[in-house]
Structure 1
């Protein structure tokens, strides 16, 4: 798994959107026993904190020690710095395994082997994520210009899984259909939007080889597109794959 987010851990904790309660409740509806969960690639622990409201114990792992250090602490969350593919979890330990905006970075074969071992019979794996933020069309055009034109050569190859809405990730489980459409929502100032865009891995790759921040380069375009009002609503279409392990 690549560590593309340690450098911007502060911004990630501040500006990354939380996951919609409706999607979270949908996942939980397939998990009858809520003893132990594993949030893999937890980042700053956004989803782990939600899981902790429902499970006796939550294990939350990430390869980034800096991200873990920013995570919200709860008595029933155990944070560990470890990879998705290599850790000390045991046979049939978990009722639920979640991966939030991270599964596209994993070695699928090795991670899924770990999932099949550590999930209980009938246990659930849920991969959740989100696509580009959407707002007024004028703002959307600037976002897409930054994403697809300016940063096109700076995205990691794994980003294609997000672009394809997780539809083409390998998912060798008994899949549960997801017909409902979910979305994260946020009310942001233009500075909030700037903070979020600076957490993009492609922005960090761009900064390594260029002197100008690409987000700053389009800031005037965002200001022109913003129109009236200090804050705008942004909508992040939720990506969701859910499967059950049958042993």
Structure 2
């Protein structure tokens, strides 16, 4: 895993913010992924799911019901601590570990999952591990998403004409106030993982887009998402001492204040009083990549 992200996710403050601000995944995404596993169990559960870079367990808890056993790991002790706190199932085994060295037996996993984390990996090492741990009929699943589209709801109904401008305004606020060191990574996510998809070493792969909508969000929910994303970017300007410095945390708080103020001004310019916005709709565009047959086409990994 990239050393910048390793130091970032070691920080308990970031893990708290990440757990609060990041979305979970709808069951339809889980069903789509599990349906790509080629073994026919005739209604029974699959044996083992392995998830790497599991974070605080957003994907883990959604996929776990389809498996008898789940092994979920993350390089960060603080992320694993969060995941254990939020764990919903007894058969999930959370542990500290890397995507490049998975603590699973050869040909043991029906499913290998990476959710919103592929961009951090040492790719060649990870693909070698994917080939090693997956069963011949197993599946690799990669999930990613970008900044959500936001639509203010008013007493007059949804103001959908504001959706694109609101998203643009949100992205501009993030980009103007954070480091550009990770711009390439975030562009890959925004564009639905084109290089990641192309680089998966098998012809048996597909990419689907799901639209996941959160209704009746408050402005606080939006700023929680922004906060987690900006901490991720702002970490690139730190000295690499393994913690988030106090001034970085304060900078993020200031940017959130600016964003909230600018949203009010944007609504006023559109003829909408900020006071009449009762809630917001947030739409995440979820990229779901599935791949199989590594063992047949890539014996040289």
Residues 128-207 of structure 1 correspond to what in structure 2 (within 5 A)? 128-135=143-150, 136-151=163-178, 153-155=180-182, 157-169=184-196, 170-178=199-207, 180-187=208-215, 188-200=217-229, 201-205=232-236
Distance 1:141 1:161 in 2: 17
SS in 2 for 1:35: strand
How large is the Cα RMSD of the aligned pairs?
2.1
Q: Give the C-alpha shift of residue 109 in structure 1.
A: 0.2
Unaligned runs of 5+ in 1: none
Greater CA deviation, 130-139 or 206-215?
Answer: 206-215
Distance 1:87 1:123 in 2: 16
What TM-score, normalized to structure 2?
0.75
Aligned to 1:238: 286
Aligned to 1:10: 16
Unaligned runs of 5+ in 2: 151-162, 238-243, 268-273, 296-301
1 or 2, which has the higher helix percentage?
2
What is the aligned residue count? 246
Aligned to 1:39: 51
Q: Give the C-alpha shift of residue 166 in structure 1.
A: 0.8
Distance 2:184 2:172 in 1: 19
What TM-score, normalized to structure 1?
0.90
Match of residue 121, structure 1, among 136, 146, 165? 136
Aligned to 1:218: 259
Q: Give the C-alpha shift of residue 217 in structure 1.
A: 2.5
Distance 1:30 1:212 in 2: 43
Q: Give the C-alpha shift of residue 154 in structure 1.
A: 4.8
> Deviation above 6 Å: which 4+ runs of structure 1?
none
Residues 118-155 of structure 1 show CA distances to partners (whole Å, capped at 9, x for unaligned) of 00002100100101210223421321212333336253
Q: Which has the larger radius of gyration?
A: 2
